[in-house]
């Protein structure tokens, strides 16, 4: 019963609609990521969930209780901010103590001078909790330091500590890794995942980085223009994007989109090659085919799609080839192995191909459509 429900959330700032009737259910203990380009409303949704922003309409349920009008502090959610938002004048341990003190000590017990005197036992207990949390996060040696004396990663950990120490129902994270350098970000990714497994509590994570979304989450919600376009497991979203915008947003480098014509009710044509399928609903309409860069393969067969390499990117483990092809206006990106790349210099001409089953079809509204018989998907190459 302690999942989180967001029901029909609407929000606009002035005339701009930021959230458009968003429904979202977050299961207890899951790692759910809200991902989308900047300005898609993901942070606003998180802030509405936290109670820092009020929605124009809609309801928020946490643990089965209606929390729509409840103050942020009383929702028992903890938040980790992009800028960490540690209190700069307090040490790490004081930072971590702050939410505990406000929650577990009465006003009188928090009063300067007499407060510590009458609540010594309680305070010792709270300090002990801080110490335990610090141990989990390997923060013990930094407890007496101020945020200004910590590195980015340590600050990140301190901010996590402040969130963890009070055992919240859920953790809300607003791009917590985007201020870290690349190496540390990758490291913190795995650390966060492990932390989630160890704590078993609900994590709601906001990011614009699809790599973070794919690597860490149990489920991810792809948001665009105030709507959740697709909600599902990372693999599902990568392999079966429901919308062309999702397909383009998730995956790096970007998916290749070819527009092509339906020539018969069971056939489309792409660069002079034909793909068989069930196209009877799309007669005389445009249809787009999406193919991920790793699904395009080089071939020696001269009858395949021709291309000229315009630019090559070396990533060490992979090469990305930016290719121009006759009859296709957009550049195509291919992922090839370093061995294959040896023979492919800029301006080299070559042929490539793809297997039908990897082709994703999108209708003119951008929705993905199934064109193959699900029981009979072949590995057949297009040419």
Exposure string (b/e) for 236-256, b if CB count within 10 Å is 16 or more?
Answer: ebbeebbbbbbbbbbbebebb
Task: Closer to another protein by CB, 180 or 359: give it.
Answer: 180
Give the nearest distance from C-beta 163 to another protein in angstroms.
8
Based on the shown chain and the rule CB under 8 A, indicate whether residue 85 belongs to the binding site for another protein.
Answer: yes
- Under DSSP, the state recorded for 254 is P
Type and span of the H or E element at 28: none
Among 82, 127, 297, 299, binds another protein (CB under 8 A): 82
Based on the shown chain and the rule CB under 8 A, indicate whether residue 244 belongs to the binding site for another protein.
Answer: no
Based on the shown chain and the rule CB under 8 A, indicate whether residue 70 belongs to the binding site for another protein.
Answer: no
C-alpha span between 172 and 32 (Å, rounded): 10
Based on the shown chain and the rule CB under 8 A, indicate whether residue 73 belongs to the binding site for another protein.
Answer: yes
Locate tokens 């660069």: which residue?
271
Region of 24-32, 83-91, 342-350, 366-374 interacting with another protein (CB under 8 A): 83-91
Task: Closer to another protein by CB, 104 or 306: give it.
Answer: 104
Based on the shown chain and the rule CB under 8 A, indicate whether residue 108 belongs to the binding site for another protein.
Answer: no
Q: What residues numbered 27-66 form the site for another protein, per CB under 8 A?
A: 47, 50-52
Based on the shown chain and the rule CB under 8 A, indicate whether residue 117 belongs to the binding site for another protein.
Answer: no
Among 16, 57, 83, 364, binds another protein (CB under 8 A): 83
Among 11, 162, 292, 335, binds another protein (CB under 8 A): 162
Give the DSSP letter string of 182-211: HHHHHHHHHHHHHHHHHH--EEEEEES-HH
Based on the shown chain and the rule CB under 8 A, indicate whether residue 149 belongs to the binding site for another protein.
Answer: no
Sheet holding 368-369, edge to edge: 273-276, 267-270, 256-264, 286-291, 360-362, 368-369
Give the nearest distance from C-beta 102 to another protein in angstroms.
4
Based on the shown chain and the rule CB under 8 A, indicate whether residue 158 belongs to the binding site for another protein.
Answer: no
Among 23, 66, 103, 151, binds another protein (CB under 8 A): 103
The answer to whether 174 and 206 have CB atoms below 8 angstroms apart is yes
Give the DSSP letter string of 95-147: HHHHHHHHHHS-HHHHSTTHHHHHTHHHHHHHHHHHHHHHHHTT-GGGTTS-G
Give the nearest distance from C-beta 83 to another protein in angstroms.
5
- Say whether the peptide bond before residue 86 is cis (omega within 30 degrees of 0): no
Give the nearest distance from C-beta 84 to another protein in angstroms.
8
Per-residue tokens: 133 = 């949390």
- The burial class, CB within 10 Å (0-12 / 13-18 / 19+), for 51 is buried
Based on the shown chain and the rule CB under 8 A, indicate whether residue 179 belongs to the binding site for another protein.
Answer: no
Task: Closer to another protein by CB, 82 or 356: give it.
Answer: 82
The footprint of another protein (CB under 8 A) covers: 47, 50-52, 71-74, 77-79, 81-90, 98-99, 102-103, 162
């Amino acid at each position: 019963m302690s999942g989180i429900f967001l029901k029909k959330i609407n929000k606009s700032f002035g005339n701009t609609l930021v959230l458009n009737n968003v429904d979202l259910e977050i299961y207890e203990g899951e790692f759910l990521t809200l991902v989308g380009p900047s300005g898609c409303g993901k942070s606003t949704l998180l802030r509405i969930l936290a109670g820092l922003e009020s929605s124009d309409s809609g309801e928020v349920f946490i643990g089965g209780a209606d929390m729509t009008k409840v103050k942020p502090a009383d929702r028992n959610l903890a938040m980790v901010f992009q800028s960490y938002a540690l209190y700069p004048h307090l040490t790490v341990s004081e930072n971590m103590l702050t939410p505990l003190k406000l929650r577990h000590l009465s006003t009188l017990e928090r009063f300067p001078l007499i407060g510590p005197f009458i609540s010594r036992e309680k305070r010792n207990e709270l300090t002990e909790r801080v110490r335990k949390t610090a141990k989990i996060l390997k923060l013990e040696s930094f407890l007496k330091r101020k945020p200004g004396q910590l590195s980015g990663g340590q600050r990140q950990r301190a901010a996590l500590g402040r969130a963890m120490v009070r055992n919240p129902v859920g953790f809300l994270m607003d791009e917590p890794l985007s201020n870290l350098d690349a190496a540390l970000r990758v490291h913190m990714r795995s650390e966060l995942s492990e932390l989630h497994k160890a704590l078993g509590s609900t994590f709601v994570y906001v990011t614009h980085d699809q790599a973070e979304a794919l690597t860490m989450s149990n489920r991810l919600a792809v948001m665009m223009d105030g709507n959740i376009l697709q909600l599902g497991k990372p693999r599902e979203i990568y392999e079966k994007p429901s919308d062309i915008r999702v397909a383009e947003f998730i995956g790096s480098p970007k998916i290749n989109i070819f527009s092509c014509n339906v020539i018969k009710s069971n056939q489309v044509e792409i660069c002079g090659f034909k793909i068989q399928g069930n196209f009877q609903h799309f007669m005389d309409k445009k249809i787009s085919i999406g193919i991920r860069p790793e699904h395009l393969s080089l071939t020696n067969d001269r009858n395949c799609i021709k291309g000229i390499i315009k630019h090559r990117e070396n990533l060490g483990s992979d090469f990305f080839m930016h290719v121009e092809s006759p009859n296709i206006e957009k550049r195509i990106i291919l992922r090839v192995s370093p061995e294959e790349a040896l023979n492919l210099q800029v301006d080299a001409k070559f042929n490539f191909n793809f297997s039908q089953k990897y082709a994703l079809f999108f209708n003119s509204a951008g929705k993905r459509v199934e064109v193959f018989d699900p029981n009979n998907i072949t590995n057949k190459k297009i040419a």
